[in-house]
Amino acid sequence: MEARQQQYRKVSAAAVTSLVFGLLSALTFFHWALVAFGLAGGFFCWLAFEKLRENPGELTGRTLAIAGAGFSVLFSITGLVFLLFAHVSEVPANHVRVDYNMLQPDPNNKKEIVPEAALELEDQRVFIKGYMYPGRQQTGLKEFTLSPAVPDCEFCIKDPSPTEMILVRLEGDLVTRYTPNLVGIGGFLRVDPEPGARYPYKMDVDLIR
């Protein structure tokens, strides 16, 4: 009995933590930022090996740490590749990807209504993602407003500026319904740089996803 007690070694908490973060790194497939789980898995694997080296007779968990590092590398790399492919492939051919930051005027230039970069996109096919502003009509929409944040979100934009709103007009037989989810639209961007314009940006859209 005494010999068995002397042979007992405690499982390294860092090794267990590495495995947990390694498994959680599978969430990388859902968002870029979640690669942090994989990085944490790698860090705790290194920490576990340091603890095992310092206390070889007291700690065990080498296999768990290796598994944690393996899952971290596997899920982080494959998740990032998946997200990169999805990011590139979602933009239709002959469209330029645009984000709301590109459409905002210089805050230090009070006279600038829209930035030069936005003017250069006038009448070009662009693809942008955002959220619909809810209105009375929920189905059969031919027109709606797109913004960069979820409407009525406590932590998001309270009062969007005109350049943070895009008036979307669906072309042809294209119709849609309101959704609180992120949507992507493709079409021609129209820019109105005149002071006081309610919607400096409008889009004639023939693609929505």
Between 110 and 78, name the one with better pLDDT.
78
**What pLDDT, on a 0 to 100 scale, did the predictor assign at position 158?**
59
Q: Is the pLDDT of residue 207 over 50?
A: yes
Strand intervals (E) in 22-104: 59-60, 96-97
Distance of CA 159 to the CA centre of its chain: 22
CB atoms within 10 A of CB 133: 16
Does the domain at residues 96-208 carry the CATH identifier 2.40.50.870? yes
pLDDT per residue as tens digits for the range 132-144: 988 888 999 999 9
Give the single-character DSSP code of 101: G
